[in-house]
Amino acid sequence: MAKIRINLESVQVTDGQGIGEGNFELNVSASDGKHTVHWPGLYPLAGRVDQGGALTSITGLVGTYEVESGTLSKSVTVNVNEIDKGTLGQDDTGKGYVTFELSPTMAATRKSVTVPLKPMNQKENGAVKVTLLAQRA
């Protein structure tokens, strides 16, 4: 039997909001349906992420899973909020999904999802790539 854990690993802005905007103030959550992890903490806490596309390391354990044999499929839902502290006060939000096939002998595996961000009832306003890592515990 092997224990495999899935962690948040990094976040990166892949599509900025325009020259007039500064860094993104992000709140990221990842859930396997039973466990949820938040970076940098529960909403409305936010971590600053460079709009210029630099990779930002993030941490958080989504879950640890015991795999005896074969494979265990684990789907993770990733929610991203770009906290809007301006006069409109309307956050840009988005959601994406990643699925890992966990096995007792698996090598460390990274999977990414690019999450488009948009204010409610408006067009897309940026995108963020979130990377997760599955590896033996």
Given the structure tokens 């948009």, which residue do they identify? 118
pTM: 0.92
Residue 23 binned pLDDT confidence (cut-offs 50, 70, 90): confident
Q: Identify residue 73 by its one-letter amino acid code.
A: S
pLDDT number for residue 111: 98
**How far apart, in whole angstroms, are the C-alpha atoms of residue 66 and residue 82?**
34
pLDDT band at 17 (very low <50, low <70, confident <90, very high): low
Residue ranges covered by each domain of the chain: 2-136
How far apart are the C-alpha atoms of 71 and 87, rounded to whole Å? 49
Structural fold of domain 2-136: Immunoglobulin-like (2.60.40)
Segment 78-131, tens digit of pLDDT: 999 999 765 556 788 999 999 999 999 999 999 999 999 987 666 667 899 999
pLDDT number for residue 89: 62
Higher per-residue confidence, 28 vs 53: 28
Cα separation, 111 vs 133, in Å, equals: 7
Q: Which of 62, 64, 63, 72 is nearest to 104 (CA)?
A: 72
pLDDT tens readout for residues 40-92 = 999 999 999 998 889 999 999 999 999 999 999 999 999 999 997 655 567 88
Amino acid at 67: V
